[in-house]
Amino acid sequence: MDTVALTFDDGPYPETTPALLAALGGTRATFFLWGEHAAAHPDLVRAIAAAGHAIGNHTWTHPQLTTLSPAARDQEVRRTQDLLTRLTGLRPALFRPPYGDTDASVARVLAAHGLTEVLWSVDTRDWAGCSADEIVTAARKVQPGGVVLMHEGRPATLDAVPRILAALTARGLRPGPVPVR
């Protein structure tokens, strides 16, 4: 069966993360966590990890990395790496730049931390306030081996997830986390 990676950015959020974990059920995904949010909600980080999901680094403050100095870029990544490692016992291997904002200078920082950058092949645009129907329609465009971008903290995303899972399964696709290479 062909796989599709489901990814969720910007969490954790106490208002939505528990419901998202419930909506996913036994389906594993990758959560790219925002360091400030993770620091504020360590129990949610542990709950994501305990449910078997992959955890990736999404920076400490969610900046546009290409606008920062090399030292500031490194601090954004390092601080989040250290926190997520302390909370889960596992050092993240995956990284998603906020806004997909990346370049060679970002790549150098990630290489120094042993991180693999993960972008996406389908943007559900849930971040733009799309409805659950629009999110489901966007996710239907994913092809085998693709990566679907979604965000925690969006009620419409919560409503869309069970329908996305059903639609992927109906197409013979297996949703899961981003494979670590």
Q: Which residues are catalytic?
A: 9, 151
Strand, helix or coil for residue 82 = helix
Q: Any idea which residue has 């601080």 for tokens? A: 79
Q: Which long-range contacts (CB under 8 A, 24 or more apart) does 100-104 make?
A: 101/64, 101/65, 101/66, 101/67, 102/65, 102/66, 103/66
Helical pair 17-24 and 42-50, crossing angle rounded to 10 deg: 0
Strand, helix or coil for residue 65 = helix
